A = this chain, B = another copy of it.
């Protein structure tokens, strides 16, 4: 048997195996990094790297002085990728299209003020737009933009480039929130998405900020067939 190279990945896999084995059941304290390094025949840094990765995904609980334990309630974390809609559609083999429905300057409704943490009802740029995949409605977008944070957007022709894409290419946000929910299609959504009124729509809401200044709040309604998937 050849002396296998000890990599952090190999330690990661071995530790995971012992956890799944229940060699180390939930709540169990693992040997200290030094002990494990001796057992695996490697430096402490290598063990540390492996265990840190497991702690990052919630499988281990590492604390100074207390040591490393197998997490009791493994709060599994799933990562969702939030691509630009255009890329998402093209990745699925569709031809991307975009239609600006309305563009106006309006005082924001309460839920927008709340999401963007706006102290008053200073008017924002409001857009309604439809994203299309092969000319079929992909999602109806209801967006509010604070032009005080991104003044350059005021001069952009949003019929040619979607606000979504312009923002991604021109503003790197520093913080954001994401909410997923389901809602029934109102008349406007039903018409735009060509689905019956009352149909169950998948809703993605995002608020983004640039150094605590609000950039945009967007609500995207997807037709009933839409699914978001990931693997864990």
CB distance from A116 to the nearest CB of B (A): 14
> Could you tell me the distance between the alpha carbons of A107 and B16 in the complex, rounded to whole angstroms?
33
CB distance from A49 to the nearest CB of B (A): 10
> Could you tell me the distance between the alpha carbons of A181 and B178 in the complex, rounded to whole angstroms?
15
Which among B76, B184, B224 is the interface contact of A199 at CB below 8 angstroms? B184
Q: Which residue of B lies closest to A165 (CB)?
A: B73
Interface of A is mostly: strand
Verify B228–A179 contact, CB threshold 8 A: yes
Verify A182–B74 contact, CB threshold 8 A: no
CB distance from A15 to the nearest CB of B (A): 12
> Could you tell me the distance between the alpha carbons of A176 and B79 in the complex, rounded to whole angstroms?
12
Task: Place the interface of chain A in its size category.
Answer: 35 or more
Within 8 Å CB of A202, what residues of B?
180-182
Any B CB within 8 A of the CB of A232: yes
Any B CB within 8 A of the CB of A75: yes
Verify A172–B81 contact, CB threshold 8 A: no
| A-B contacts besides A79-B80, A183-B200, 10 pairs, CB < 8 Å | A20-B174, A73-B83, A76-B81, A76-B82, A76-B83, A77-B82, A78-B178, A79-B79, A200-B200, A200-B201
